[in-house]
Copies of this chain bind each other. A is one copy, B any other.
């Protein structure tokens, strides 16, 4: 089953079925007037909050319209797999640290630090038992080091400057080498001046697939949600609503979601309409999965859940710290959706 075949059209049909849909926008004179200058964004604008409710609604609508119009526009949102080459029985990944400019929304670049020019960095995915080399070259102004957060490895591969290695200075290369032992949803990120470097973008998914996939629940598709909240604003996978992408699924799909919190704050992630079956914590399967609709993800934690897409529709999906998700100007920040088509 390819989720790639789901398009914006499916969503619009669905939204139409639900009795609204973006067609509504055209019927609203305020929307068409306000949309060009509407700025869905972080700042709570109390003038808007106390002002004309139609203007406020139009700004809310404009944000949703941008989100809907953008479905499918950013295929990299759900992560860019890092290609590897095989050498001496090792899977070899090349990672370059770079000072870059990054747009959490179009036209608003922020100063960032990146792995291979991406925020989050490219996803490294290996299989339990793989021999792995990650060759890290530092082209940033600051020194750095890479910690494979959650991955069991030899101490000298742990990435803590002056404890397990010297920092990787500008222009230098350091090679991390280990055998992937513990399957699950892990991360790699900076462990040098990390409060700045991680929150500014040196963060990424490191996924170890189990040799025996039967140890995990079955699923049809999977998505990583990397949460960040500080140096670059409130983001999911490096983007802020309405510039996030929804998960597109079909009725009956079982979707695996990998939550990874790289920020400084908790994010209780609330999915509307469908319960979440929580089955793994930090890559370790729980002895007994349990259900919830709001999963509190603390900094450094990873949680894996299965969502059984039993009801069609466009389900809002957001951090439930409401100031991370909505202002008087509309939804922003840590908001996306799960769109289930029939």
* Contact call B275/A152, Cβ cutoff below 8 A: yes
A76 lies within 8 A of chain B by Cβ: no
* Contact between B44 and A299, CB atoms less than 8 A apart: no
Closest to A44 in B: B195
Quick one: copies of this chain in the complex?
3
Option from B19, B169, B301 in Cβ contact (under 8 Å) with A165: B19
Q: Which residues of B contact A293 (CB under 8 A)?
A: 149-150, 282-283, 300
Residue A81, interface by CB 8 Å: no
Please state if A314 and B164 are interface contacts (CB–CB under 8 Å).
yes
Q: In the complex, what distance in Å separates the CA atom of A156 from the CA atom of B312? A: 10
A287 at interface, CB cutoff 8 A: yes
Q: Give the residue of B164, B167, B326 whose beta carbon is less than 8 angstroms from that of A60.
A: B167
Q: Is the C-beta of A337 less than 8 angstroms from some C-beta in chain B?
A: yes
A218 within 8 A of B: no
Q: How far is the CA of A313 from the CA of B286 in the complex (A)?
A: 27
Please indicate the chain B residues that have their CB under 8 angstroms from the CB of A273 in the complex.
152-153, 155, 158
The 3 closest A-B pairs by CB, nearest first: A155-B313, A300-B320, A284-B291
Known: A60-B162, A65-B162. 4 other contacts (CB 8 A): A44-B195, A49-B193, A64-B162, A150-B293
